[in-house]
Chain A
Amino acid sequence: MITHYPVLQVIIPLIGAPLCLLFPVPRLAGLFALLVSSLAFLVSCGLLQQVMVHGTLVYALGGWAAPWGIEYRIDYLNSYLLLLVSSMSTVVLIAAQSSIRRELPQNRQTYFYTAYLLCLTGLLGILATGDAFNVFVFLEISSLSSYTLIALGTDRRALTASYQYLIMGTIGATFIIIGVGLMYMMTGTLNMNDLAERLPEVNHSRTVLSAFGFFIVGVCLKLALFPLHLWLPNAYAFAPSIATAFLAATATKVAVYVLIRYVFTVFGIEYVESVLPLQEIFLVLGLVGIFAASVSAIYQLNIKRLFAYSSVAQIGYMILGLAIGTQLGLAATLLHMFNHALMKGALFLAIGSVVYRINSSQLNHMAGLGRKMPWTMAAIVIGGLSLVGVPLTVGFVSKWYLVLALLEKGWWLVTVLVLISSLLALIYVWRIIEWVYFTPARIHLSEVREAPLSQLVPVWILVIANIYFGLDTSLTVGVSKLAAQSLFGLFGAAP
């Protein structure tokens, strides 16, 4: 069975989703989804361990060897992210059980869990596959199900947000298939490794360049990179809290993964640098994104929206790490992907508990909540501090590596800007603290109690993880460095 791990990783939620639909009682469906997700989590642990021991795993689906069939190819990079996605999904699902029961009407809960598992399948599928077109198929599974998840939000603006996301996401996906199609046209293959081998022969051609262009733009739409981020804040703000937590923690990370995979594995960093000033573009977009989004975040009243903007800013950091173009920079990006998932997961889950209790995510409604829900609020504060990058939290670790990478490259100005942007983060986090702790409650909150244990536990698992990985960095830093090394070592050195 161990040899089947790569495919089991995706197949388990894939089979789980339709089974989930067959459950008559939503509560059972929820528990079943949790079971499925934790199985996937166990498999991903096994996978990471195997990759550590044996190196890259290859699994030919249908028994057809690579360029003819589809293969799964698991290396450091994606086993690390598989672990991230499946663990986040599991933790979020623990909290989902009670939160969904409150936020959604009875007859939609089963659909929610099914769509959730489908989304998980899609994300895991994107991560595991080594086939360019297969990425598109699973991308669509995950996006269609996330449109559904978002549209299940109770506010009517959820619908428009989801529609907007649908339009943008489909344009992005279509751009991606144009890119894949053009690449296929020039090389005759769809397998990523095969592409990487055959692309250098046709590197000079304009078709490959335009393929690259389409691909990057498409992924950046999915990624919500700064000028293309418009769909994200609304989508996150009005989706059910659980969906927000899951999507914020995983979806954009997977998009970043696709970007990294193509830039480094398929096209090769040399090619990318030779044809486009991609570094500069990413640098500028990343920085502008960080600042614009952080400033917007400061003015938000809806706390979900606030953190959604902060997500856009954090994506800016990740892109910045890529823009550095060194091994350390890449490692910083990978590290930040993991750490950001931890922070945002914790934050949005905590917000989910708040919504569970007071049925609103407006900051002003949260006034004075610090005394009513001390544990939840403490979680939000720690998560927020982590966003700022205060020492002892994961946020600090990833910022630290980012700054190290920047200094190594000698970009002083950018370093200073990154530090300043952290101050902006401090401002919006402070706004929350101010509302929550130092504003007297205008509305009678006496009946509000602490969140139920089933929500506090997952929140605090993530918060503790936030602190733990902030102190003991050997695992995360180790793996991301290994992954960065392998990406550079394997393909960067090729002539």
Chain B
Amino acid sequence: MEVLFDIISWVCLVSGSFFCLTGGIGLLRFPDFFTRIHAASLTDTLGASLILVGLMFQAGWGLVFAKLLLILMFSLLAGTTASHAMAKASLKSGLKPLESDDAEKDGVPEGERPSQQ
């Protein structure tokens, strides 16, 4: 049982960190804000939960487990909500997702910015 838990937790940790890594690279390399937030927030949620679950397997029942659970809940709620809020706020402020034809340019040119709602 111990070994099984260890293996599960390791798998979770490794895959979680893999997702985090991809998210980080995406955050750095993607061309505009919306693709970046896509990369970062999705992998972030998955990666963070996997790592936390992996830790939970290590912790066993107890206060530590409860705290990890709390962090997990919190990061699920807060992370997703924050991403949503960010995306919405940026959209409202006039940042526009990249269309396929202007993918080379970084961000939106000055003149094409939609006016304030």
Q: Do chains A and B touch in the complex (CB under 8 A)?
A: no
* B interface list, Cβ under 8 A from A: none
